[in-house]
Structure 1
Amino acid sequence: MTKYLSGAAVCAISLAFVSEAAATEWNVSVWGKRRAFTEHVEKLAELVSEKTGGEFTMNVSYGGLSKNRENLDGISIGAFEMAQFCAGYHADKNRVVTVLELPFLGVENLEQERAVSKAVYSHPAAAEEMAQWNAKLLMTSPMPQYNLVGTGEPRMTLEDMKGMRVRATGGLGKAFEAVGAVPTSVTATEAYQAMESGVVDTVAFAQHAHLSFGTINQADWWTANLNPGTVNCPVVVNIDAYESLSDAEREALDSSIEESLDHYLANYGELLERWDAVLEEKGVKKVEIAPEVLEEFRAAAAAPARDAWIADMEAQGLPGQELYDLVVKTLADTKAGGS
């Protein structure tokens, strides 16, 4: 064995260490398990790795890095580089995006939800507020309108909803409160236990969550058309981590966002197409709320929630009316464009 390595060998080893050091690895905090709600995050990780030849990778952790209510806090201190959270978990920390959680906005599908979210995320007030948490809004997690699963007799009228204990966060919670229900904001991962123990009678979720968190297995019925609104769940990145990326890495990340969302919408669409079969398989009755009841609900919840939200935001120095108008205009333009 030679006592000294040749210059070529030293050079090769040095280059190997440089290559190793140059690789970028991000930790991503989500929760639950892999499901329709996280498919864009998984796709983003896949695309970024492909585009950088494996030099920029993302480790997606389902609850191993943080509790879901603490993901924004984790981003702010740099505990991880990327995270998903839902606005209703801490509305005081992300006031701007809660405009997207107002009840009865009129969003009809996932493409429209994607469009209005993108418009709000691009508003300077949203970027400025997130910057306070060292966070940059990267992309939304478009979800369909929420609907209820429940036990016992279906809640078919507003009178039936009085006193109903419902798992509903943010603007949805306020909507149900407006008609006499009693909302509670337990997290998604706590919803099954809350339903099982009788803490709540009903749970408001999008379809994927009823499946993923097991509430559909507790249910006797599901409302097919209540559609009071949805929650908004951004994916954010730590600003310092984002800015420390090389130009090539940043380009790989930014250029993969829309493709990841396209994948998400296609995947979610497949779930929606088989939803009736899921209900039948699990013995859950599909109920339709009468049009006059829906109109009564809308009248009780929509305008009061909108007006209160705008007044509250304006009082805090945020452009509440401007943000609401942006959602309305974006939605109208998107519908006019055929989406």
Structure 2
Amino acid sequence: MRVVSVLVALLFATGAPVTAAESTVWNFNVWGGKRAFTIGIETIKKILEAEAPESFELRINYGDALGPPKKNPESVRVNAFEAAQFCVGYYPNKFPLLSVLELPFLLPTKLRQRANIEMEVLAHPLIVEEMAKRWNIKFFGPSFLPGYEFMGNKRIETVEDMKGVKMRISGLNATALELFGAVPTMVTAPEGYTALDRGTIDSFGFPYTYGFGSFKLYEVSKYVTDGFNMSGFMCFQGVNIDAWNATPEKIKQALPTAQNEAIDAMIKAYKEADEYWIPIFREHVEIVKIAPSERVKLQTVSGKIWEEWADGQTAKGRAGNEILDFVKATVAKYTN
């Protein structure tokens, strides 16, 4: 946390002393520019700063201004900056239990349901403990994503078309694609344009539609799928616990309202992004419709991947089965 001295002059006819007021500042690091994905943190900023306009500031630093995204956990842990955007797939083995939310086809496709499930999982004591003990981080802002599709220069219409294709997708979802011959390759969002342009990857998995549009991947692609609707990154906004503890009580009390309004704002932003980007995509790439039967093929292999994930966590002394069972029950709660 940064404490900024703000000089407030109290002028009276006879002259008045100058006093100093302290203002809490959170510096927040996020990759890329303003887009649908950042509407959540922008909404939280607006609400929290309005709650305590003279004693709290949330400074959003776009474009990795404070450091590379893959180092955000380490940077926030040591309070190099107070808060940051996190996506679990960028940090293999750093948030092992939270990676449950990146299991393929575990979460529903409807955004409201997904947001509600993620919020409950992020509040689970096992996840709270994992963040705190490993990284001195507290969750404070939702960053749920739409389903993933694939844009690039290899035409994919069936799962068999994935054979030999270098596909950008995160670890646990990559496991499902590997079973059909895909070659997972991990690059960050800002690296996607160059990777597609140079042929480092053939197809880029990203939230549909805003992700492809925000990073202009349609400019260096020929095709985009529509219908896989895969799980992707589990993302969230976190703050250094020491910085949180030193934050004004009014801000802490206002956070739940800010979170709910952020969820509403993100759902609206994703819908508006679809309306904006789909016509542009039609002008640049072929939109390849995926038959439901193809998605079912991927879903069919996913159950085994869930159980293997849980067993692997348990073998390392973590509560893998417990957290998986909790997520399954929470999914049922919001979808049945």
Q: Which TM-score applies when normalising by structure 2? A: 0.91
Shift, 1:140, TM fit: 2.4
Matched, 1:186 2:187: yes
- Native 8 Å contact 1:147 1:223 kept in 2: yes
- Native 8 Å contact 2:51 2:250 kept in 1: no
Aligned-partner Cα distance in 2 for 1:106–1:123: 16
Shift, 1:7, TM fit: 11
- Native 8 Å contact 1:115 1:331 kept in 2: no
Matched, 1:24 2:24: yes
Residue matched to 1:285? 286
Q: Which amino acid aligns with 2:245?
A: E
Aligned-partner Cα distance in 1 for 2:106–2:171: 14
Query: What SS is found at the alignment partner of 1:143?
Result: coil
Compared CA separation, residues 288 and 6, structure 1 to 2 (3 A): closer
Q: Which moved more, 1:257-266 or 1:185-194?
A: 257-266
Shift, 1:118, TM fit: 1.0
Shift, 1:53, TM fit: 2.4
Q: Which amino acid aligns with 1:166?
A: M
Q: Which moved more, 1:87-96 or 1:49-58?
A: 49-58
Q: Which amino acid aligns with 2:163?
A: K
The answer for unaligned runs of 5 or more in structure 2 is 1-10
**Aligned ranges for residues 56-75 of structure 1 at < 5 Å?**
56-62=56-62, 63-75=64-76
Compared CA separation, residues 186 and 332, structure 1 to 2 (3 A): same
Shift, 1:121, TM fit: 0.6
Shift, 1:192, TM fit: 1.1
Residue matched to 1:148? 150
**Aligned ranges for residues 184-223 of structure 1 at < 5 Å?**
184-206=185-207, 207-223=209-225
Query: What SS is found at the alignment partner of 1:332?
Result: helix
Q: Which amino acid aligns with 2:151?
A: V
Shift, 1:106, TM fit: 4.7
Residue matched to 1:304? 304
Aligned-partner Cα distance in 2 for 1:185–1:159: 21
Query: What SS is found at the alignment partner of 1:41?
Result: helix
- Native 8 Å contact 1:118 1:139 kept in 2: no
- Native 8 Å contact 2:101 2:107 kept in 1: no
Given candidates 229, 232, 245, the residue that maps to 2:234 is 232
- Native 8 Å contact 1:118 1:140 kept in 2: yes
- Native 8 Å contact 1:167 1:186 kept in 2: yes
Shift, 1:123, TM fit: 1.0
Residue matched to 2:83? 82
Aligned-partner Cα distance in 2 for 1:91–1:172: 13
Compared CA separation, residues 23 and 176, structure 1 to 2 (3 A): same
Q: Which amino acid aligns with 1:235?
A: Q
Residue matched to 1:294? 295
Query: What SS is found at the alignment partner of 2:135?
Result: coil
Residue matched to 2:55? 55
Aligned-partner Cα distance in 2 for 1:34–1:276: 19
- Structure with bigger strand share is 2
Q: Which amino acid aligns with 1:264?
A: M
Q: Which amino acid aligns with 2:253?
A: E
**Aligned ranges for residues 107-146 of structure 1 at < 5 Å?**
107-131=108-132, 132-146=134-148
Matched, 1:322 2:322: yes
Q: Which TM-score applies when normalising by structure 1? A: 0.90
Shift, 1:8, TM fit: 6.2
C-alpha RMSD over aligned residues: 1.9
Compared CA separation, residues 321 and 23, structure 1 to 2 (3 A): same
Residue matched to 1:92? 93
Larger Rg: 1
Query: What SS is found at the alignment partner of 1:91?
Result: coil
